[in-house]
Chains A and B, each alone.
Chain A
């Protein structure tokens, strides 16, 4: 039955699907799951604006469409600008209810789309910007982006010369714009993702959700590991889950568990070439990042001790 809700980890999730099967995502695609979950959190009450990215293909060729909400295809760098336009258009036509979701990959957000995002964020356009981050230009064949983590293999950072720059800090950029709400999320914690999207849904102004969406072919792993990798990204501290309100109030969702970073890296072929020393460098980066985040959380909440540890067994 596709009406009503079911409860998953304490969160009410609508049974209704806003994503049709038959879409063209690869097996085990994190981006497809991210869209499915976000639309459920929105209750299907939205329009999507989609720049060039994997989802341009996933949605299906003309004349087909994989979503139960309308979608505007737009040029690579324009997600936030086109979304702002759609929202303005809807409002002047009397529709102040339908939300506009800019749905872009890491390329269309961190790199070519960053200007439009910055402009929209600075103007506090009333859009929900979702960046589904698979940490490279996957649609065009796994080239590096500024979201590619240090040490990762991509086709433009091959094994002889893997990625030599750390991942760009999108959340810091968004915080600097003082938008009402920004949060990170990932598909292995759908309850947390849905909760954050629902929270964003109730806020006016520019809201951004940065979703880590693992890509089995691009990260060089079996499709069935996609959720496990997403979970370990959080559990090892590699991808922190947190929220920033108004650019200044930080709330960390979970502390990492005592799981070494290696447990996350070893599942992915794109990190297979790393030496112990290189892994140590990555661990340092993660550690430094966490120090910052915990300080920011403490500055906001008075102390960081009560942050729950990521709920993971094993």
Chain B
């Protein structure tokens, strides 16, 4: 147990492990996949040494990992897993099951490109392809945010009864080390008490969870799921404020930087936001009116924040490290459609870049700002950095 708050230089993956440790998870069921492995390795050590009083089930696939999490959560245990790309794709069926059963499971997903061809490098398509599964999705930028988002993930999930996926970039975040404040357990306990499940299967009560629901009732369960997502927006902010009082850091739905009088705004998520942050600061020092919006919470989608921040801007460049083939970059699609009812709509241009881990540097983003400011319209994907 962490009795005294301490700052350690740890990787993003280990920040996940510490987040789960501090959240006192009770059942972990996980399958190894690059680049998630360090998450589960450290958690295994925590369990083996007795530091974490949890059952660790070394399942034989990710699909089984999520199935076991669902089993444990259905009887009221606090449950956790972690995966990436292929593993997340394999879990797809069970992601729906977890949200449909309204189970507050928290999972860390390391964004990694999907095969074929094989790739282990960062790409957001894997988690975004699961955006319809009813999971809350939090895209994080720093190792500290990773740890904090795990704890916050449980807090919000257990409040609205929806699972949370905390998403971090492969290698760029998972394997790079930063100083992280690892809080003392006592303070975390104060923020996140033991899970008291309002709905669970209990040996004394003969109930069935998830039986056949005919057309007369299935619809209403989906409505409830949506309503829970809508409540989650407020919950995320409220719990973020509570967290900030205890731990001094606030996390909301989106993060803005230099948006005040910005005419051009970059919208992105994950570590690319960190890169964009450097570019924006450099451009500002040159007197350019550029701002940055980092989308942190992708599900539930932060409609009001996006509309509020982007209304009236001249240009918006959405940077997608992902692709929905036959359509566009996914953040771009969703941001653009969110802006539809806004009267003073900016020109929104979608840039797809960095797929399969291709490096994105601050210079690239500066060049994108130059590019977007030149455009009058953009109907197709703007590929950035493709080698042809």
CB distance from A234 to the nearest CB of B (A): 32
Among A52-60, A128-136, A281-289, A300-308, the stretch in contact with B: A52-60
- The answer, yes or no, to whether B115 is at the interface (CB within 8 Å) is no
On whether the beta carbons of A61 and B212 are closer than 8 Å, the reply is yes
Q: Restricting to A33-86, which residues have a CB under 8 Å from any CB of B? A: 45, 47, 49, 56-57, 59-65, 67-75, 77-78, 80-86
State the CA gap A49–B54 with chains docked (Å).
22
- The answer, yes or no, to whether A95 is at the interface (CB within 8 Å) is yes
CB distance from A139 to the nearest CB of B (A): 11
* Closest residue of B by beta carbon distance from A48: B208
On whether the beta carbons of A116 and B60 are closer than 8 Å, the reply is yes
* Closest residue of B by beta carbon distance from A66: B208
Q: Using C-beta atoms within 8 Å of the partner chain, give the interface range for chain A.
A: 35 or more
* Closest residue of A by beta carbon distance from B75: A89
- The answer, yes or no, to whether A223 is at the interface (CB within 8 Å) is no
Contact with A along B205-216 (1 / 0, CB 8 A): 111111111100
Q: Restricting to A87-115, which residues have a CB under 8 Å from any CB of B? A: 87-93, 95, 98, 115
State the CA gap A62–B77 with chains docked (Å).
24
- The answer, yes or no, to whether A311 is at the interface (CB within 8 Å) is no
On whether the beta carbons of B206 and A88 are closer than 8 Å, the reply is no
On whether the beta carbons of B203 and A70 are closer than 8 Å, the reply is yes
CB distance from A72 to the nearest CB of B (A): 5
- The answer, yes or no, to whether B217 is at the interface (CB within 8 Å) is yes
* Closest residue of B by beta carbon distance from A56: B212
Partner of B77, one of A56, A78, A92: A92
On whether the beta carbons of B212 and A74 are closer than 8 Å, the reply is no
Residues of A within 8 A of B27 (CB): 85, 88-89, 92
6 shortest interchain CB distances as A-B pairs? A85-B71, A119-B60, A85-B68, A89-B72, A78-B67, A81-B64
Q: A57-B212, A73-B211 are in contact. Are A89 and B77 (CB under 8 A)?
A: yes
Residues of A within 8 A of B228 (CB): none
* Closest residue of A by beta carbon distance from B221: A62
18 extra A-B contacts, CB within 8 A, seeds A61-B211, A70-B206: A47-B201, A61-B213, A62-B214, A64-B211, A65-B206, A65-B211, A72-B209, A81-B71, A82-B68, A84-B57, A89-B74, A90-B203, A92-B53, A92-B72, A115-B61, A116-B60, A116-B63, A122-B60
* Closest residue of B by beta carbon distance from A74: B67
- The answer, yes or no, to whether A118 is at the interface (CB within 8 Å) is yes
State the CA gap A63–B210 with chains docked (Å).
9
On whether the beta carbons of A88 and B207 are closer than 8 Å, the reply is no
On whether the beta carbons of B210 and A82 are closer than 8 Å, the reply is no
- The answer, yes or no, to whether B29 is at the interface (CB within 8 Å) is yes
* Closest residue of A by beta carbon distance from B205: A70
On whether the beta carbons of A84 and B61 are closer than 8 Å, the reply is no
* Closest residue of B by beta carbon distance from A24: B212
On whether the beta carbons of A84 and B26 are closer than 8 Å, the reply is no
CB distance from A152 to the nearest CB of B (A): 28
- The answer, yes or no, to whether B59 is at the interface (CB within 8 Å) is yes
Query: Which residues of chain A have a CB within 8 Å of any CB of chain B?
Result: 45, 47, 49, 56-57, 59-65, 67-75, 77-78, 80-93, 95, 98, 115-116, 118-119, 122-123, 125
- The answer, yes or no, to whether B330 is at the interface (CB within 8 Å) is no
* Closest residue of A by beta carbon distance from B195: A93
- The answer, yes or no, to whether B353 is at the interface (CB within 8 Å) is no
- The answer, yes or no, to whether B23 is at the interface (CB within 8 Å) is no
State the CA gap A64–B210 with chains docked (Å).
11
Q: A78-B63, A123-B57 are in contact. Are A62 and B217 (CB under 8 A)?
A: yes
**28 A-B contact pairs sorted by A residue (CB < 8 Å):** A47-B203, A56-B212, A59-B208, A60-B208, A65-B211, A70-B201, A70-B205, A71-B206, A71-B209, A72-B70, A72-B74, A72-B208, A73-B209, A73-B211, A75-B94, A81-B64, A81-B65, A81-B68, A82-B70, A82-B71, A84-B68, A85-B68, A85-B70, A88-B55, A89-B27, A92-B26, A92-B27, A118-B60
CB distance from B308 to the nearest CB of A (A): 40
Residues of A within 8 A of B206 (CB): 65, 67-71
On whether the beta carbons of A85 and B58 are closer than 8 Å, the reply is no
On whether the beta carbons of B60 and A86 are closer than 8 Å, the reply is no
Partner of A93, one of B58, B77, B205, B214: B77
State the CA gap A80–B26 with chains docked (Å).
19
Partner of A74, one of B60, B210, B217: B210
State the CA gap A72–B210 with chains docked (Å).
7
- The answer, yes or no, to whether B73 is at the interface (CB within 8 Å) is yes
CB distance from B200 to the nearest CB of A (A): 9
Residues of A within 8 A of B59 (CB): 81, 84, 119
- The answer, yes or no, to whether B202 is at the interface (CB within 8 Å) is yes
On whether the beta carbons of A88 and B76 are closer than 8 Å, the reply is no
* Closest residue of B by beta carbon distance from A63: B211
CB distance from B96 to the nearest CB of A (A): 9
Partner of A89, one of B61, B63, B76, B207: B76
State the CA gap A91–B201 with chains docked (Å).
14
Residues of A within 8 A of B74 (CB): 72, 85-86, 89
Residues of B within 8 A of A91 (CB): 55
Residues of A within 8 A of B217 (CB): 62
